[in-house]
Structure 1
Amino acid sequence: MCQEFKSPLSKRARAMLEDFQASLEQGISKIGVLNDEEIHQAELERVFGRNWNFLAHESEIPNKNDYVLRSIGDDTFIVNRGSDGEIRVLLDVCPHRGASICRAAKGSSSHFQCPYHGWTFKNNGDLVGTPSFKDAYSGLDRKEWGLTQAPRVEIFHGFVFATLDENCPDLKESLAGMGWYLDMIFSLQDEGMEVLGEPQRFIIKANWKIAAENFSGDDYHLMTLHKSTYDIGVMQIPLRENMKGYHIQAGNGHGISFSIDLESKDPLFFYYPEEIVKTFNLENLSEKQLELARGSRVCVGNIFPNISFLMLPLSPDPKNVPPTPLFTWRVWQPKGKDEIEVWNWFMMYKNTSEEFKRASYRAAMASFGIAGTFELDDAIPWETITRNAKGTFAKKNMKLNLQMGMEGMGTAKQVMEWPFPGIAYYPRYEEGNQRHLYRHYLKEMLSEE
């Protein structure tokens, strides 16, 4: 049983969501939920407050006392590796008067001191210092006034997740079928992945759900919005060829998509070069995971609610540099109903050469960095959608089409004997993953448990 909500939905907000829920089964979404203050406030508690949220990767805090500052919804947390080596997630709020205690985005410290009155805490959260203790707080039980910890923290292949709901299902259960696909990606190499450089942070004036649904299963937009990337050679897989693949509804709102070369006789492994493939330990994979990885060239997905990832080969300089596989992992951090702060990590398998990591990082920066070709393309329509969703007439009357792939609509069909987890459709002319995301979103938003 999940937590009960302190703030019930207003009659107006519930009516909006129930209208969306009814129309979704006809492949219709409602633009109004993409820019609404009441909906946003409810999401902070009902979506971000009771699901698993990604905060950091272990490679960002490799040493004892290392820390980074991250967010869940509108709460800020210190993610640190304590003096004992254990990773903890501590709310960045002093229990004395509520001031923030951490004044840097990252660093190394065995203690944190509040700048307001000097209360001092060990990096395990214990209160160990109160100025003028004898005169001011000689009767205080310090054990009761340590920093508040996130109710639950779990680490998956080095990825640190936390939930604010102590009754939330375990991370593995919450990931459902998505866990199987992530296992495949992260287990290719024994050492797993590491973060390259610092995560990029930038603002897009858009609603977080637009970005989440895009990575969940919107391959269709590549043929128009990103057409120039193929025309100039950044992406060398022909756009229509790239649509040959599968959309998978992986459970609990998660969606993942693979572009697969069905005719290739050679193993692809996302186009990693032979010297990198030699570092893979394929015994880590099940027979079915190996079968899928061998034939995959592009993978993109969204972990509900707002964690997206992408692995594919791109070139930063088509005339001079061949395509290099890259991996981007990002969080669409809501800063309001109409703004997200993008946290964008570039990662690569740890046991690869520094030369290859630099090449991958360069390809990632040129395409999915803050000024990357793909990144700039996406922000423009996302911002106009959010702006349009604010319109008085549009909010009341505008419906959006999410019917691609439904019966009688296009060429995509369900793969009835899909050998891997989830529900799959082929080819990728299909919006079932987006509908799957919104079904789970509406379930979370309308639940009163």
Structure 2
Amino acid sequence: MLTNTSTTLSDGTRIDDLIAPATREVQMRVLSDPELYELEMERIFGKTWLLLGHESELPNDGDFVVRDMGSDSVIVTRTKGAIAVNLNVCPHRGMRVATTDCGNTQIHKCNYHGWAFRPNGDFIGAPVEREQMHGKILCKEQLGLQKARVTLYGGLIFATWNLDGPSFEEFLGDTKWYFDILFQRSDRGLEVLGPPQRFMVRANWKTAGEQSAADGFHTLTLHRWLGEVGNYAKKDDKKEAGAANDLSPEMIGVEISSPHGHALRCIDLARKFVALTGMDSSKLTLDEKLNALPPPGVSKDMVPQLKRNLSEDQLKVLVSMPPQVGGIFPNILFAFVYIPQGDGSVLGLTLVHAYVPRGPDKLEFVNWILCERDTPPELREKMLEQSIQLFGTSGMVEQDDSDTWPHMTIAAKGAQGKKQTLKYQAMFETGAPAGWPGPGIVNEGFTKDDTQWHWWLYWHELMTAKQA
């Protein structure tokens, strides 16, 4: 039987043998195995920093939402201006303390035996205080809800059960330099456009998680319609038939990998400058580029904020090869994308997804739609509408992806299917572009598999790590 310290499954298979570093292959068994899933809840979701929402979802003292850290329900609360995250399990007899998705309260009370807790998780007391119904063996300070370690990053709420582990900055490592370009670029930061959209997908969480590690290749086929439909279609009668719908030029750029599995796809803006502004970006100054084509979600009058919050090197990346899609290990995808409009303008959309495990063959898709706090009202409405059309519960992009992941999960259950391998053998051989100012594992050119392979290497590192 698999134990907390074991790296061997019950049938004798070693976790080490599920990944072949020499050929960059991963056995498909990893997408369905219940033993692996249980171990992931301990070694990955019990150790890493996990996204739970955005602080703008909790504007008032006492506001709370119920979210999940792996297989554990947690209460995320604003209390005295800070954000607290507590395990949603009463330490008395194991009942859920909060049984609604959200609300506002200064006292969380378990409806089973009435134990009460402050928003920060501290134990207040039990009914019939004179009888000491909480007992005399443990003091009140020992009877509070289990507390997670919490940090805010760009308003995003991250938490971990690993109280003595790496800080969130250490977890991001070199990729923080790039994520700051997206999440730390304005004076007042981001806020949510309403509560997150949520839906279930009958698929293993890793099918979505590893794709979020900057898989650009699937866009050419699974999302081919992006070059064929409506405002997203490329129209050029001078080209040979079919060339106008070719998405391959969009696959060229810079990709950032991380030893911790984080990834970013930075896409060349030169073509967009010509298509959307009619200008040659190589002949423009940094200021001219910012004003001609502000980044997604930023209006022209907000451009001075970018210069206050980002370094010159970060601004250079933002106007030439900005991060547009990617992920944070283990289960987060972000999208800061340019969407062409019918009138020739461009609209920026900002979204963050989390793929929450719900079992070996089920995940909950959680989609936050964000905008800068200083975004004008009319622009907010457009961003919300088009985000829902493309990336929401009924979004055209999500319909593609959420159809693929269940097929992979089902195939991984087959007697022969589970022995097949996921292959990540398209490798960069380029390195960073000349003069590239940012840190990290950087490669330029047509999209490859390196970012996803680094995702699996970190999965493997966590799953085989010695346990205390």
> Under a length normalisation based on structure 1, what TM-score does the superposition of the two structures give?
0.91
2:460 aligned residue (427, 442, 446): 442
Aligned to 2:147: 149
Paired residues for 1:253-272 under 5 Å: 253-262=261-270, 264-265=281-282, 266-267=289-290, 268-270=293-295
Q: Tell me whether 1:8 sits opposite 2:6 in the alignment.
A: yes
Do the aligned residues in 2 keep the contact of 1:24 with 1:435 (CA within 8 Å)?
no
Aligned-partner SS, 2:18: helix
2:51 equivalent to 1:54:
yes
- Secondary structure in 1 aligned to 2:327? strand
* Distance in 2, Cα, partners of 1:242 & 1:414: 19
Partner of 1:284: 309
Deviation at 1:338, TM superposition (A): 1.3
Separation in structure 2 between the aligned mates of residue 274 and residue 101 of structure 1, nearest angstrom: 43
Alpha-carbon distance, 1:269 to partner: 4.0
Q: CA deviation at 1:133?
A: 2.4
CA contact (8 A) 1:402 1:431 kept: yes
- Whether the 8 Å CA contact 1:260–1:298 is kept in 2: the answer is no
In the alignment, what sits opposite 1:176?
Answer: 173
Q: What is the distance in 1 between the residues matched to 2:23 and 2:134?
A: 65
How far is 1:13 from its partner? Answer: 7.4
Distance 1:385 1:138 in 2: 49
1:137 deviates by: 2.8
Q: State which of 131, 134, 141 in structure 1 corresponds to 2:130.
A: 134
2:117 is aligned, of 113, 117, 121, to: 121
CA contact (8 A) 1:250 1:256 kept: no
The 3-state SS of whatever aligns with 1:216 is: coil
Partner residue, 2:421: 399
Deviation at 1:122, TM superposition (A): 1.6
Query: Which sits farther off after the overlay, 209-218 or 163-172?
Result: 209-218
Aligned length: 434
Partner of 2:239: none
Aligned to 2:83: 87
For 1:290 and 1:12, locate their aligned partners in 2 and report how far apart those are by CA, in whole Å.
52
Residue 269 of structure 1 contacts residue 297 of structure 1 at CA under 8 Å; is this kept in 2?
A: no
Q: In structure 2, give the amino acid aligned to 1:360.
A: M
Kindly report which structure 2 residues correspond to 1:184-203, keeping only aligned pairs within 5 A, or say none: 184-203=181-200
Distance 1:446 1:378 in 2: 29
Alignment of 1:20-39 (within 5 A): 20-21=18-19, 23-39=20-36
Does residue 205 of structure 1 match 2:213?
no
Map residues 284-363 of structure 1 onto 2, 5 A cutoff.
284-296=309-321, 299-314=324-339, 323-363=346-386
Alignment of 1:216-295 (within 5 A): 216-235=213-232, 239-262=247-270, 264-265=281-282, 266-267=289-290, 268-270=293-295, 275=300, 277-278=302-303, 280-295=305-320
Partner SS for 1:252: coil
**What secondary structure sits across from 1:168 in the alignment?**
coil
Distance 1:64 1:236 in 2: 47
Contact 1:16 1:33 in 2 (8 A): no
CA distance in 2, matches of 1:218, 1:66: 37
In structure 2, the gaps of 5 or more residues are: 235-245, 271-279, 283-288
Return the letter of the residue paired with 2:313. K
| 1:415 aligned onto 2:432 | yes
In the aligned structure 2, how far is the partner of 1:441 from the partner of 1:284? 33
Cα shift at 1:118? 1.1
Q: Percent identity of the aligned residues?
A: 33
**Amino acid across the alignment from 1:348:** C
8 Å CA contact 2:196, 2:369 repeated in 1: yes
Secondary structure of 1:15's aligned partner: coil
Extract unaligned runs of 5+ from structure 1. 408-412
CA distance in 2, matches of 1:96, 1:190: 44
Superposed displacement of residue 399, structure 1: 2.0
Q: In structure 1, the residue corresponding to 2:227 is in which secondary structure?
A: helix
Residue type matched to 2:201 in 1? Answer: I
CA shift, 1:74, in A, is 0.7
SS at match of 2:177: helix
Q: Is the 8 A contact 1:14 1:446 kept in 2?
A: no
Alpha carbons 1:269, 1:295 under 8 Å: kept? no
Is contact 1:54–1:161 with CA below 8 Å preserved after alignment? yes
Secondary structure of 1:246's counterpart equals strand
Aligned-partner Cα distance in 2 for 1:25–1:357: 48
CA contact (8 A) 1:178 1:303 kept: no
Aligned-pair distance for 1:198? 0.8
Q: Give the structure 2 partner of residue 105 of structure 1.
A: 101
TM-aligned CA deviation for residue 16 of structure 1: 4.8
3-state DSSP of counterpart to 1:217: coil
Deviation (angstroms), 1:245: 0.7
Structure 1 residue 275: Cα displacement: 2.8
Letter in 2 for 1:342: F
Paired residue type of 1:347: L
For residues 170 and 395 of structure 1, do their structure 2 counterparts lie closer, same or farther at Cα, with a shift above 3 Å needed? Answer: same
Q: Is the 8 A contact 1:313 1:326 kept in 2?
A: yes
State the 1:211 CA deviation.
1.1
State the partner residue of 2:412: 389
Q: 1:16 to 1:239 in 2, by over 3 A?
A: farther
Contact 1:13 1:38 in 2 (8 A): no
Q: Deviations over 1:138-197 (max 9, x none)?
A: 8533232122211x2111121111111112111101111221111111232111100111
Q: Could you tell me how far apart the structure 2 residues matched to 1:232 and 1:416 are? A: 33
- Provide the rounded CA distance (Å) in 1 between the counterparts of 2:438 and 2:57: 32
**Alignment partner of 1:96 is 2:92:** yes
Q: Is the 8 A contact 2:299 2:375 kept in 1?
A: no
Q: Deviations over 1:78-124 (max 9, x none)?
A: 11011x22211111111111101112111110001111011111212
CA offset at residue 64 of structure 1? 0.8
Q: Matched residues in 1 for 2:267 and 2:302: separation?
A: 19
Does the residue aligned with 1:198 lie in a helix, a strand or coil?
A: coil
Q: What RMSD over aligned residues (CA atoms) do the two structures have, in Å?
A: 2.2
2:85 touches 2:147 (CA, 8 Å); kept in 1?
yes
Q: 1:246 and 1:294, CA in 2 relative to 1: closer, same or farther beyond 3 A?
A: same
> C-alpha distance in 1, partners of 2:331/2:161?
15
- 1:12 is displaced (CA, Å) by 4.8
